[in-house]
Structure 1
């Protein structure tokens, strides 16, 4: 810069710039603001000669919009601050306004007098690159984005005010020092490693994100996005690195909240178990939102009931879920009891349904802490810092509360955290309410189903039985599986296992109707194939009723499968038929397991297709296993694999039935199967020959007396003398009817079982009919007398005719027989 001075003028011209010289006018003012030097550049710029301005106050040159008093006050401040720079509105000699960019600097003389040097240039003539430099300087200094320049040793050489404010360390404290020496709460090793990489390669690194705490805000974690680039001089030498840092905490927290809510949406509500839902809520919140979370629900909710509103101090609550950053949740004490005092946050939240936020837990600001000494001790022991309590509420009904506590994280809960906690609780509340309703409906369906299943199996001697029923898991609901043991005439027994299509109350109700129908049809002594045919007709009628009621294609239960077996302990013959059901398994006394090759038959409800029976002889002590498909079909298992596992589990037929049953259940069934399961085991027994007596009778009325005599002798031999008179009457009537109305062959059979059974078979298929004779009739009272003197009576058809039978209790020794159906081994 060349400066030429004359008594009246001073010119200053900036040269050496490729864009040409910039004219700069120089003016000297004395301490009173009077112009004492006026350069030629000032004459050209303002249009006033030196003679016109020398000795006059400088304020006379300013535009009338400028307050002269304010200028003098600014001059006094300039003296203290060391100068001033800015724009000055000035009046040109021709009267138009012009804006000058001026720099005012104080000059101190030897006599401590103060004068002023004013350097000015015309804004209109200032080159654009000069404007850019001025703007860049202001931007770097005043930008709200943090900026810094570091040398090759990564020591601070310059930083702007924004960086000093955001970090909490002043400019003077940073200059000459490294970031790792000043910010222990930031990942300084990673940051400085990125700087070294930029210094080494010259490739900028953009938007490097990291999290940490600063001196300015040590209790709150922040997120920063930083970009680094290298500084080189005109010769290409590396001078250092510059970085620009932006606080993106709000964006980062919004992303964290969104990710947390997405995670909560995926995890909360994956089950219809209330306890599982609340535990999922606690698991999601720890440690991403809180360090310790407990969830308490009203006991009525856990029972599936509608919670009484409003909640009062007498309402009982129970701990339903908890999670902590500490193993085992040592901060928690399982809660079961009345709602605590209303001053406590959980009780306030339960009773009024409004969330509670306590950013700082302190006995001085939270009086409720003092009221509960154990709670105060726990707060001090575990260092609880901040608390939130939010209601678990839906449809305006409060079902419980969730409590969130921080102890490790130093930053307290704020309103944003409370919103997240409320979102967690509201989502959980919807699922808890659904699970509560499902629990109630599932309990009702399960109660109905269990009430329709046999509560105890009837006493009989043909087979020893063991059974098991397991409902499906909550997601599938109760089903329509059932089993039954039905005593039949002639000491026989019917075994049935069935499976109704579908789940829920309708399936359970349909199962009850089918079970009742099987009982009724079995009481008619129908063969298994005919029984299934009648049952098939019933299922079709039920489906038609449902379709008519719905007005369209029914979505209710439309079908079922069933297997029915009849075992005769006298002949040891077993007759079976199935309708789309898995084949029964037979285990021989030697332990060999076989699945019976029965005709499959169509499922019940299809109609039009026949059912076929198969008959086989079973050795005494054989094991017959009937089951539904839920036993052999499951998660990841096909039917063949399930049958192989069942075959292995049934091995060892000489074991107790309960042991075999439990082994099968343990081997094949999970705790919560996908489908409900009915399982029935029956070990066969045989009636010894001395328990059965039979006689072939000719078609002669005189043989009635012989039949009575045979009966009396046999009963005396069996030790049943008290039943002789009644049995003789029954035999007399039955044999007389057979001789009078039927055809040969006629056969009389007595069976001593749990009851005394009297049977008369003939070659006719005509069914007997009980009728009430008039007082003037000479006959027709035979079956009426039989019905009066026996426990029950009936008729069944055989391939060669029919059999009329009657049973009467044995008063002499009926309590001596085992309840499971084994036979009595006392001598005859």
Structure 2
């Protein structure tokens, strides 16, 4: 059966009817003295159920009825009996007033305790639920959702636009209006089981991100507390949207509102407005104190999110400025690259990739990962990337390059210590994978410093991970690195990546490697599409860690683009070298480059015969540029210098540097190679 609920008015009416009924029974039904006890109980019942005034009314009416009936209407009783009945009723009346007063005081005390408990619960919810995302807009929405229903019918949070971008808030004018940007608006529906759904639906309403103009005095932290309660036209000036009929506010709109500034230290970040409709009690002084406490805690959270947003944007800008905008032009491989920063909680990390054109039509492929997140990780990444490019420019083999890079990281770690080397500013560590591909020999040499192994897909569709010694991470110092050389067919796909691609909170790393193999096995020639599909399948949204991906599809130079000769160490072969180069350039249709190339070949071959050892090898490579290489068995590298007026030598390299675009030296296990590049007419 459904429970029957009676209002205070209904109880009052029933008690008065009961007194009247007893009065009638006392007057016309005998014996009349036995009905007196029923009347005495009526004021006590009222004291237990009704407010003080209604208890007073019931008791007075009962005493009046008893006095009238036993004093004048009832006969057959002695004077003493009449007096006892009337005095018993009067005593019951007095006791009922005392009982009612005690009950009401106790109820008021319990009510105050419950209100205090609810307010502490609200403050606890504000402390635990607001500021958990380190995002300014999300923090504002969390504040609005916490305060709605439990404290107000509608909550809006408006912030200065620079605060939303992570910048410092603007100064407040002395008077006039300020322009804010609406960050969150939540309107609560009736207290039903649909509260959560309604809050979420309203928090993304049409009023989001619009400009709001409010009086500057509302944002003054020193404004008297009593003036923060808005009424009448001031509520309209706050930019609060009119309540919907489903909000339970009727057509009257908001009855009362509180405008509290969001502050952090001496900075004012924005304004929070709490509003109530006709269905709830107006805000009082205690509510104002509670609103200020909630706003103060939320202001600190918004400021933390603002500072984090600024640091993240700074790190991301630094990271993007240090990464290449697009892969450089080179002919060794088709390349697709991607970088995705970590989600807002983790912050921008130090992952990087690079594509470095090398001499001899080769290309270096690099992917690295710096330990940590934030500006320091981005700055360290930039220093390591610059170091790798510098070391790659002198054509070091991959294992030697990582050894030098390890020394650099060790020195950076030592520099990161504070005074006297006792207070570290932050640990510096990194992993790196460095690969060099030669399109002439089709060999790829790789070395790893604690980095995930690359994946290789051959043209026949088989995808495997390269069996590469992992090597120690950079920064440990003193440990060797090993390299592996692979012979790759043309159109092989090699994938270099950071650990953020295969690691996830939803799967272990082995499952990530398996999914990567499956995605690369589906490669159908469109490298950019394969790169996008790889990220779509493996990367969470938002990613838990930074992700750097470099996909390279190898090319090969056939014999028609390369010419090689070997000559003995005899000065007479210099003319033969010039003649061979002239004939080859004529076959390639590059007659315009003959004169310059003969000059370069004559100088380099002469130097190799005069200062080198072993046989001399001459190689020409035709791409978009003409590459000329002369190799010998001596490791002594020449140096460019300016010859004095009466010097007999020292002018050859100076002339070569002026007639070619680039030149350089690279060492090998069999000696050295001097190379030059010349631009070809389009």
Normalising by the smaller structure, the TM-score range is 0.7 to 0.9
- CA–CA distance in structure 2, aligned partners of residues 567 and 573 of structure 1: 6
Over 3 Å counting, the alpha-carbon distance change for 1:313 and 1:668 in structure 2 is farther
CA contact (8 A) 1:353 1:391 kept: no
Which of 726, 729, 733 is equivalent to 2:596?
Answer: 726
User: Deviation of residue 390 (structure 1)?
Assistant: 1.0
User: Deviation of residue 245 (structure 1)?
Assistant: 7.0
| Matching of residue 265 in structure 1 with residue 108 in structure 2 | no
Which residue of the partner structure matches residue 320 of structure 1? Answer: 183
Which of 368, 372, 382 is equivalent to 1:498?
Answer: 368
User: Deviation of residue 616 (structure 1)?
Assistant: 0.3
Length-normalised TM-score, structure 2: 0.80
Which of 393, 418, 425 is equivalent to 1:523?
Answer: 393
Over 3 Å counting, the alpha-carbon distance change for 1:254 and 1:747 in structure 2 is same
CA contact (8 A) 1:794 1:804 kept: yes
Deviates more, 1:770-779 or 1:283-292: 770-779
| Matching of residue 419 in structure 1 with residue 289 in structure 2 | yes
Over 3 Å counting, the alpha-carbon distance change for 1:370 and 1:730 in structure 2 is closer
Structure 1, residues 597-651: CA drift from partner, whole Å, max 9, x if none?
1111111111111111100011111111111111112214322122112222222
CA contact (8 A) 1:391 1:402 kept: yes
Over 3 Å counting, the alpha-carbon distance change for 1:595 and 1:335 in structure 2 is closer
- CA–CA distance in structure 2, aligned partners of residues 225 and 268 of structure 1: 41
CA contact (8 A) 1:272 1:434 kept: yes
Is the partner of 2:594 in helix, strand or coil?
helix
Is the partner of 1:424 in helix, strand or coil?
helix
Which of 212, 218, 227 is equivalent to 1:349?
Answer: 218
Structure 1, residues 644-672: CA drift from partner, whole Å, max 9, x if none?
12222222222311111111111121233
Is the partner of 1:522 in helix, strand or coil?
helix
Structure 1, residues 530-588: CA drift from partner, whole Å, max 9, x if none?
00001111111111222264631524233211000000011110000001111011111
- CA–CA distance in structure 1, aligned partners of residues 638 and 451 of structure 2: 35
CA contact (8 A) 2:185 2:207 kept: no
Which residue of the partner structure matches residue 67 of structure 1? Answer: none
Over 3 Å counting, the alpha-carbon distance change for 1:368 and 1:261 in structure 2 is closer
CA contact (8 A) 2:179 2:211 kept: yes
- CA–CA distance in structure 2, aligned partners of residues 544 and 150 of structure 1: 95
CA contact (8 A) 1:584 1:595 kept: yes
Structure 1, residues 365-410: CA drift from partner, whole Å, max 9, x if none?
x354688999789998463222111111121322111111112633
Which residue of the partner structure matches residue 508 of structure 2? Answer: 638
| Matching of residue 288 in structure 1 with residue 150 in structure 2 | yes
- CA–CA distance in structure 2, aligned partners of residues 524 and 373 of structure 1: 65
Structure 1, residues 684-743: CA drift from partner, whole Å, max 9, x if none?
111122111111212221211121122122222222221111111101111111111222
User: Deviation of residue 359 (structure 1)?
Assistant: 6.8
User: Deviation of residue 513 (structure 1)?
Assistant: 1.1
Is the partner of 2:523 in helix, strand or coil?
coil
Is the partner of 1:289 in helix, strand or coil?
coil
User: Deviation of residue 277 (structure 1)?
Assistant: 0.8
Which residue of the partner structure matches residue 236 of structure 1? Answer: none
Is the partner of 1:290 in helix, strand or coil?
coil
| Matching of residue 254 in structure 1 with residue 116 in structure 2 | yes
Over 3 Å counting, the alpha-carbon distance change for 1:249 and 1:377 in structure 2 is closer
CA contact (8 A) 1:360 1:387 kept: yes
Alignment of 1:376-395 (within 5 A): 381=251, 383-395=253-265
Which residue of the partner structure matches residue 350 of structure 2? Answer: 480
| Matching of residue 329 in structure 1 with residue 202 in structure 2 | yes
Which of 422, 425, 439 is equivalent to 1:569?
Answer: 439
Over 3 Å counting, the alpha-carbon distance change for 1:374 and 1:585 in structure 2 is closer
CA contact (8 A) 1:574 1:617 kept: yes
Structure 1, residues 313-337: CA drift from partner, whole Å, max 9, x if none?
4643101111112444399734633
Which residue of the partner structure matches residue 77 of structure 2? Answer: none
Is the partner of 1:659 in helix, strand or coil?
helix
- CA–CA distance in structure 1, aligned partners of residues 298 and 274 of structure 2: 15
Which residue of the partner structure matches residue 99 of structure 1? Answer: none
User: Deviation of residue 456 (structure 1)?
Assistant: 2.3
Alignment of 1:543-562 (within 5 A): 543-547=413-417, 549=419, 551-552=421-422, 554-562=424-432
Which residue of the partner structure matches residue 51 of structure 2? Answer: 165
CA contact (8 A) 1:589 1:654 kept: no
Is the partner of 1:329 in helix, strand or coil?
helix
Alignment of 1:232-243 (within 5 A): none
Which residue of the partner structure matches residue 8 of structure 1? Answer: none
Over 3 Å counting, the alpha-carbon distance change for 1:528 and 1:161 in structure 2 is same
Over 3 Å counting, the alpha-carbon distance change for 1:648 and 1:775 in structure 2 is same
User: Deviation of residue 777 (structure 1)?
Assistant: 2.6
Structure 1, residues 150-193: CA drift from partner, whole Å, max 9, x if none?
99xxx9673355754358566539999xxxxxxxxxxxxxxxxx
- CA–CA distance in structure 1, aligned partners of residues 471 and 641 of structure 2: 40
CA contact (8 A) 1:299 1:317 kept: yes
CA contact (8 A) 1:484 1:497 kept: yes
- CA–CA distance in structure 1, aligned partners of residues 677 and 257 of structure 2: 77
- CA–CA distance in structure 1, aligned partners of residues 107 and 132 of structure 2: 42
The structure with more strand, counted as a fraction of residues: 1
CA contact (8 A) 1:698 1:745 kept: yes
The structure with more helix, counted as a fraction of residues: 2
Which residue of the partner structure matches residue 463 of structure 2? Answer: 593
- CA–CA distance in structure 1, aligned partners of residues 274 and 372 of structure 2: 43
Over 3 Å counting, the alpha-carbon distance change for 1:279 and 1:759 in structure 2 is same
Alignment of 1:752-767 (within 5 A): 752-767=622-637
Deviates more, 1:277-286 or 1:465-474: 465-474
Is the partner of 1:448 in helix, strand or coil?
helix
User: Deviation of residue 782 (structure 1)?
Assistant: 1.5
CA contact (8 A) 1:316 1:336 kept: no
Give the number of the structure whose alpha-carbon radius of gyration is greater.
1
Which of 489, 494, 498 is equivalent to 1:628?
Answer: 498
User: Deviation of residue 679 (structure 1)?
Assistant: 1.1
- CA–CA distance in structure 1, aligned partners of residues 226 and 678 of structure 2: 76
Which residue of the partner structure matches residue 17 of structure 2? Answer: none
Which residue of the partner structure matches residue 303 of structure 1? Answer: 165
Alignment of 1:200-239 (within 5 A): none
CA contact (8 A) 1:483 1:680 kept: yes
Which residue of the partner structure matches residue 183 of structure 1? Answer: none
Segments of 5+ residues of structure 2 without an aligned counterpart are 1-37, 63-100, 190-197
Q: Which has the higher contact order (CA 8 A, sep 6+)?
A: 2
Is the partner of 1:499 in helix, strand or coil?
strand
Is the partner of 1:591 in helix, strand or coil?
coil
Over 3 Å counting, the alpha-carbon distance change for 1:526 and 1:338 in structure 2 is same
Which residue of the partner structure matches residue 454 of structure 1? Answer: 324
CA contact (8 A) 1:498 1:562 kept: yes
CA contact (8 A) 1:387 1:413 kept: yes
Over 3 Å counting, the alpha-carbon distance change for 1:773 and 1:356 in structure 2 is same
| Matching of residue 611 in structure 1 with residue 497 in structure 2 | no
- CA–CA distance in structure 2, aligned partners of residues 496 and 803 of structure 1: 24
User: Deviation of residue 247 (structure 1)?
Assistant: 6.2
Is the partner of 2:416 in helix, strand or coil?
helix
- CA–CA distance in structure 1, aligned partners of residues 504 and 102 of structure 2: 52
Over 3 Å counting, the alpha-carbon distance change for 1:734 and 1:382 in structure 2 is farther
Segments of 5+ residues of structure 1 without an aligned counterpart are 1-148, 177-223, 228-243, 814-828
